[in-house]
Structures are given as C-alpha cells and as structure tokens.
Amino acid sequence: MSQRSHVNAPSSGTQDTGLDYVLARALALGGKPSSELQRVLDEAQRALPSGGWQAVALKLTGLSVAEDAARQTFERLLAHRADLERTLGRPVHFKTAAMDGLDRAEALAGQAPNTDAGLSYDQLVQMAFRDHLTGLENFRSFTRRYQQEIRRADRYKHLCSVLMLDLDRFKHFNDTFGHESGNAALRHLASILRAQTRETDVVARYGGEEFVVILPETAKHEAARLAEELRRAIEAAPVDLKDAGRQPLTVSVGLATYPRDARDAQTLLERSDEALYRAKENGRNRLEQFQPDSVAALRYRPEHPAAAQSVHVVGDFNGWDRTIDPMPRDAAGAFALELRLAPGRYVYKFVINGEWYMPDPQATEYDHDGFGGRNSVLWVK
C-alpha cells in the first residue's frame, strides 16, 4: 500500500499510533454489521463534524472512551479507508478498513501492552461474537442464534419467547455519574441477567443500554413470570459506584411470543420492541406484553351443563398447557373465550374438568393430533 501514515507507527513501538486499540478492535471485530457501522458514521459526520465521537463509540461498540481518543480513532480509520480505496480503486467497507488498519498498526507498534497480543484463533472468534463491555453475546451472535431458535420452533411446532430490556433513564445516569459509571451499570445489569436466566436461554446485548433474552420452548405466561423475576432482581440490586456509592437501576421490559404474537422472526422482534416502548410510555420499571389486534372467539356449550365444571382451551399457541387459558361460563351457560392471536393457522382442543380432551364440536376443519385423535383447526385473520 502506498500510504500508511494515518495508522502506522515506527517499528520500535515507542510512538503513539493515534488509535485507541480497544475501541479499534471493537469496531473491527464487534457484532455490528458493516452497513450499520456506515450508517451511524455517515450520520455522525453530517450532524457532528467537530464533536460527539464519544457517543458514536458508545452506540457502535458499547465502550465509553474519552472524546479525543474516540475522535482520533475514527478520523484515522476513516482516513485509512480512504487510502485503501484510492490504492485499490474500489469502495472498501469501514469494518474491513478497521481490521486492516488495526492489524498493521499493532504489528508496526510492536504489539503495545493493551493490544492483547498473542490471542489464539478461538479467542479471536470469541471476541467476534462477544460484547466487549459486558461479556454477553453481541448483536452478531444474537442474530445467528435467534434465527436458529425461530427455525427450530417452526419445525417442531414449539414456542419461543423474546424479552427486550432497556435500562431506564440511562442517559441521565451517564450525565450524572459519567460514562465509566454507565459502563459499570451495564456490566452490573449483564451479571444479573446471566445469574437469573436459565442455561438454555440466550442473553445478548442488543445495542447501547438495550438487552435481549431468547427463551426457547417457553410459553407467554412462563416468559412473563421470568421477566418479572428479572425486573425485580434488577430493582433490588443497586450498582455500587466507586465515587457515588450504591445507585438504583430499573429496566423496562417488552415481551412477545412465537407464534402467538407473530409468525416470523422479524415481526416477533418488532412486537417485543413495541411492547418495550409501551412499558417506557406507561411509567418504566414494568413489563408489557404484546397483544395482537386480531381476535379468535371460541365457544363451547356442553350437552349436559352440569357435567362440565370447567373448560380450558389448549393448543400450539400456549404450549398445550391446560391451566392458563380458562373459558369462563357466560349467562347462557356456555363457556366462551376471546383469544388475541396473530393471524395464521392454529390447532387446539378443549379440556373438560382438567381431565378430558376433546376437539371443538363447532370447528369446520380438523387435523390428526398424532395420538389417534383429532385437533380442531383455527384460522385467525
């Protein structure tokens, strides 16, 4: 390459390269895709030509670094990308330029002490899929695991719930106590999430102060219980700051479940985010569950009213749990329930007195249940 002055240092390693190596490595190996990096950088260059790089670094990597260090790192990596594009005669992704510039700067600087020299391939892979600040899975890893879990849920007709969590009033916390304290708060929250979730759950940092938890094979009512436990555990465990003592933290939580609230991965994520937004609107430090607009009305009138003391509906929308969707008896003596379900095809049965399973006599379509019986088919529009 013809020009390297923006990122290179003499081979003795005694001269500053102008890079914050931790930030540069997070940009090069972090989970944000190239398109997202470029979009944020373009917005920053248009809106904040002379400042605000600390906020850009926090948004893209979750790291809080000094403004000058952040500005110098971005300027040098952007300039290095321009050098590469002139030399190669084609566009170069910022992430590619960051990886190339970081590699050359570290090699020529003699591997400065804070560069984590000698990392193995497995360690580098881990860095690529782990959030640098919290140690949780990063956005890249979350995206991969999330798609896998939804495909598995679809193939085996299982449920999958998603929790979106956002640290309340995080900007005010940062402004009051400083970015290093903000980082401490994020690490503290991550440790609680790790401790309170199950081994089969996937916990990831979605971006900034937002976290996501994938709950495989978990019905909505069970996910709501787990979400409340998380919310209470965070509320009960203030973060201990070096110069400010114990400071309270709270989170707002949004919940959506596949397939009850959405029938594809992208929509499910949007639904959980909508629920999170409502939690913020409704006062924060609370859980909101997404509720679809479409309604399915079920009704069962037993031939012998005295023989049916209770009726529940079970189906692929509630994990076939016979305890969570009771059908109240109406004034006419029938059992009726309105279910909010995303549009699509579902199968279900009625459970009489908590013991006897039967298809809905009023259904117009049935399907084999795999056990020699029939399920009723429900189409929601």
**Residue 7: its pLDDT value, please?**
44
Same domain, 240 and 149: yes
Q: Side chain identity at 291, as an amino acid letter?
A: Q
Q: Side chain identity at 217, as an amino acid letter?
A: E
Is residue 169 assigned to a domain?
yes
Mean of all residue pLDDT scores within the chain? 86
Same domain, 229 and 345: no
Is residue 232 assigned to a domain?
yes
Same domain, 319 and 208: no
Same domain, 307 and 275: no
Is residue 9 assigned to a domain?
no
pLDDT digits (tens, 9 = 90+) for 343-378: 999 999 999 999 999 999 999 999 999 889 999 999
Among 58-62, 228-232, 277-281, the range scoring the smallest mean pLDDT is 58-62
Q: Is the pLDDT of residue 320 over 90?
A: yes
Give the domain-ending residue among 289, 323, 351. Answer: 289
Is residue 15 assigned to a domain?
no
pLDDT interval class at 25 (50, 70, 90): confident
Same domain, 154 and 278: yes
Same domain, 320 and 338: yes
Render 295-342 in DSSP notation, one character per residue: EEEEEE--SSGGG-S-EEEEETTTTT-TTS-B--B-TTS-EEEEEE--
Range of the domain at 51: 21-118
pLDDT digits (tens, 9 = 90+) for 110-160: 544 444 444 454 555 555 678 888 989 988 889 889 999 999 999 999 999
**Residue 92: its pLDDT value, please?**
79
Q: Is the pLDDT of residue 2 over 70?
A: no
> Which domain CATH number covers 152?
3.30.70.270
User: Of 136, 166, 124, whose CA–CA distance to 28 is shortest?
Assistant: 124
Is residue 321 assigned to a domain?
yes
Residues 335, 301 contacting (CB under 8 angstroms): yes
Same domain, 226 and 301: no
Same domain, 26 and 108: yes
pLDDT digits (tens, 9 = 90+) for 178-230: 988 999 999 999 999 999 999 999 999 988 899 999 999 999 999 999 999 99
Same domain, 187 and 300: no
Q: Side chain identity at 122, as an amino acid letter?
A: D
CA dihedral 112, 116, 121, 122 (to 10 degrees): 180
pLDDT digits (tens, 9 = 90+) for 40-50: 888 887 776 55
Residue appearing with tokens 């020699």: 372
Give the domain-ending residue among 289, 312, 333. Answer: 289
Same domain, 149 and 256: yes
Domain count for the chain, please give it.
3
